[in-house]
Amino acid sequence: MRKSQPDHTDICFCPLSGLLDVLAKKWALLIIAILGNEGEKGFNELKKELGSISPKPLSDTLKSLEGTGLVHKRILATSPPSVKYSLTPDGWQFREYLIPILVWVSERGGKDQPGCPIHRSPHRNSNNPK
């Protein structure tokens, strides 16, 4: 249920803490950005894109993202059963809020390090890093 008043005063920060516990994980925002850019991804696809992540933190992060309803896990009953992760509507919504921040951050500190391991658009797959 929603508060009747649009002028949102009195926000309890407890849910924020809950979300933060998820988003503060090292790879969470990156996963959201990648799924937003490229749609569905499998576990090892994600792992490959993220580069240096180990299976455990990836698994943990995906679980918590699923738990907060930002990411959806779909299991395909194909001959080699495969798994696909994608953003939920809430995940898309959150990504919309996130994009201006990503852009702003990149403009502030915006040094494009040559050895940057992760270098992509916040909202489209344009592989033109240089």
Does 16 contact DNA by CB under 7 A? Answer: no
The binding track of 59-98 with respect to a second copy, each residue x by CB under 8 A or -, is ---------xx--------------------x-xxx-xxx
Q: Give residues with Cβ within 8 angstroms of 41, minimum separation 6.
A: 34, 35, 49, 84, 85, 86
Of 83, 99, 102, 103, the residue at the interface with DNA (CB under 7 A) is: 83
Binding part of the chain for DNA, among 6-14, 59-67, 92-100, 114-122 by CB under 7 A, reads: 59-67
**Phi/psi class of residue 8: alpha, beta or left (left: φ > 0; alpha: ψ in -120 to 50)?**
beta
Q: How far is CA 112 from CA 30, 32, 96, 98, 117, in A?
A: 17, 21, 23, 20, 11
Q: Which residue has the tokens 């933060």?
A: 20
Of 26, 67, 100, 129, the residue at the interface with DNA (CB under 7 A) is: 26
The amino acid that residue 34 corresponds to is I
Residue 73 binds which of DNA, a second copy, none (CB < 5-8 A, kind-dependent): DNA
Interface residues toward DNA, by CB under 7 A:
21, 24-27, 42-45, 52-57, 59-63, 73, 80, 82-85
